[in-house]
């Protein structure tokens, strides 16, 4: 697995604290980020500060212990690609649309399983699926209560004891 960052500031801390076992690359020209945005950078606008989903993402990250450094350009939205071997191309693409959005883990696991041949019945995979099912349940409850500003798992935080 590979992590691509667009700034050197904080990259060593990010790799040490959150990115175990994978390679980290600096993309100073932001080619990866341009590719995610269909040829241009995707920027978070200031109106995101009034979106409930932004604040739910922020709370989720704080509860999980993820800490940012507030240094550099934090408005460029990221995402992920799952790439097949050789020239077989992209198997999956996720674009962050609200700062802090996460790719749906069950979809990521499904695609990784397909291209790697790893069985999805592994215990750690089952645990991730259970967590996502709980998240979906909370999201549906939030939507039923009239909270329509939900994207991914942003409206459905697990209780702090589960993080």
Whole-angstrom Cα distance, residue 100 to residue 64? Answer: 12
pLDDT of residue 153: 36
Confidence of residue 92 (pLDDT cuts 50, 70, 90): very high
Report yes or no: 44 and 58 within 8 Å, Cβ to Cβ.
no
* Torsion, CA 122, CA 114, CA 154, CA 31, rounded to 10: 130
Q: Say if residue 85's pLDDT is above 60.
A: yes
- Give the pLDDT score at 146: 62
CA distance 88 to 82: 11
Q: What is the mean pLDDT of the chain?
A: 77
pLDDT in tens, 14-34: 777 777 777 888 888 888 888
Distance CA 49, CA 140 (A): 23
Q: What is the pLDDT of residue 91?
A: 94
Over residues 120-138, the pLDDT tens digits come to: 777 777 777 777 777 767 6
pLDDT at residue 100, as a whole number: 83
Residue 151 pLDDT > 60: no
Mean pLDDT of 61-86: 81
């Amino acid at each position: 697995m590979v992590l691509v960052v667009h700034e050197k500031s904080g990259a060593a801390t990010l790799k040490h604290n959150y990115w175990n076992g994978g390679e980290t690359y600096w993309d100073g020209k932001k080619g990866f980020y341009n590719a995610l945005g269909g040829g241009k950078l995707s920027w978070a606008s200031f109106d995101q500060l009034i979106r409930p989903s932004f604040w739910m993402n922020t709370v989720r990250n704080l509860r999980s212990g993820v800490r940012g450094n507030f240094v550099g350009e934090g408005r460029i939205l990221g995402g992920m690609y799952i790439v097949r071997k050789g020239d077989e191309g992209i198997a999956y693409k996720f674009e962050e649309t609200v700062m802090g959005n996460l790719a749906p883990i069950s979809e990521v696991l499904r695609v990784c399983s397909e291209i790697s041949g790893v069985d999805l019945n592994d215990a750690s995979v089952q645990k991730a699926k259970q967590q996502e099912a709980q998240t979906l349940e909370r999201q549906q409850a939030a939507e039923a209560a009239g909270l329509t500003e939900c994207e991914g798992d942003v409206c459905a935080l697990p209780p702090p004891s589960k993080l």
